[in-house]
Amino acid sequence: MKNFFSLVLYTAAVSVLAGVLPGCTDTSGGCYKMIAGTYTGNTAGEGIYVYEVNAETGDARQLFVAGNIINPSYVALSPDKKYLYAVNEFGGRSAVSGFSFDRRTGALQLLNAVSTPDADPCYISVTDKHVITAGYTSGSISVFGRLGDGSLSPVRQVIFHTGKSIDTVRQQTPHLHQAIFTPDGRHLLACDLGTDKITAYRYCATDATRILTAADSITVKKGSGPRHLAFNARGDRAYLLQELDGTVTVLSVDTDAGLAILQETTVSMDSDTGNGAAAIHLSPDGRFVYATNRGTVDNITCFAIRENGQLEWVEQLPAGGKGPRDFTITPDGRYLFIANQRSGNITIFKRNQHTGKLMPTGKEIACPAPVCLVVY
């Protein structure tokens, strides 16, 4: 394990390849740029990677790697994309880091790193004023201020969840796995794998200490283990993926973040499947939902969204690697990239934008222990 204090003494390990990919210039619009957060402990991972992918061929090159960073497993850009923030998942010595970001070159420069009360923060959200992390081991949410130069303040609010559920291994204490804002930015929803609860918080950007206040909560199926959710564009539907049993739950969300269950379906097609459901996202046009599952299956599932917001099965296919965690869809909807943590590769799929179906391209990016992907 790299020394945690290297965060403070951070030096970027820069990797920039000469030339540009054909049809992939800064002005042509013929490329996608993507950031990958990784695990670095006991892996070959160096830190945060930035790539460029040709939109026509799927060929990729590495633009930059910010190295010597402890487990920047989840990353998020500021709304203006001038700054990037990363969790540093390291037990009771975890932190959150802020970087300046050059969109053109992909270059990252550390601004500061702040210790977090969250043990093993595993998700990060960013607003104009704040950075918010979800702590898995501690079962907590922490709120940090964003200062004028993009750096982070010390923690301004911490909320610890309580309770448990029925799984005797994974659910004896709270385990926050995600803290994500509604599309209008007025509320934050927290997924607690340990208690099978989703909690909605009101967000007040101008309050000094009570930035989040509880608004509503809902308990989903016992033993399911809620992990991640994604919203439709209007914010009146949330699509929740449960890690432990592969359930996908459709929730209605009213204007005050009141929650209700509309539908339950699943990514698990076999009762003997060893589930490890991971990430869920909507297509840019809002017509399809995709979800990854690790466990013994290593696949991705596609659902179509009906007019009432409920889901209809489309297809399921191999993810092209082991341990598919996060994935991302390009803004134009043409490609989907999957971060396969255990096999150390990012697989590239083409999307049929009419049917939602995926086609393997045979192209992939070698990336050690990728966890989170952000296309910008």
Question: How confident is the model over 162-172, as pLDDT tens digits?
Answer: 999 999 999 99
Report the predicted TM-score, pTM, of the whole model to 2 decimal places. 0.95
Question: Is the residue at 309 inside a domain?
Answer: yes
Domain count, the chain: 1
- The whole-number average pLDDT for the span 330-345 is 98
Look up tokens 């607690």; give the residue.
192
Question: Is the residue at 276 inside a domain?
Answer: yes
Question: Is the residue at 156 inside a domain?
Answer: no
CA 121 → CA 60, 145, 265, 341, distances in Å? 30, 17, 29, 17
- What percentage of the chain carries pLDDT values higher than 70? 93
pLDDT at position 272 is 75
Which residues lie below 8 Å from residue 285, measured CB to CB, with a gap of 6+? 333, 353
Question: Is the residue at 227 inside a domain?
Answer: no
CA 370 → CA 3, 4, 71, 195, 198, distances in Å? 20, 20, 10, 27, 27
Question: Is the residue at 31 inside a domain?
Answer: no
pLDDT at position 20 is 55
Structural domain boundaries enclosing 276: 267-376
- Pick from 4, 138, 9, 22: nearest CA to 71: 4
Is the model's pLDDT at 243 over the cut of 50?
A: yes
Query: 73 in helix, strand or coil?
Result: coil
Q: What band does 11 get if pLDDT is binned at 50, 70 and 90? A: very low
Question: Is the residue at 5 inside a domain?
Answer: no
- The whole-number average pLDDT for the span 91-95 is 97
- The whole-number average pLDDT for the span 215-236 is 98
Question: Is the residue at 74 inside a domain?
Answer: no
Return the CATH number at 347: 2.130.10.10
Question: Is the residue at 29 inside a domain?
Answer: no
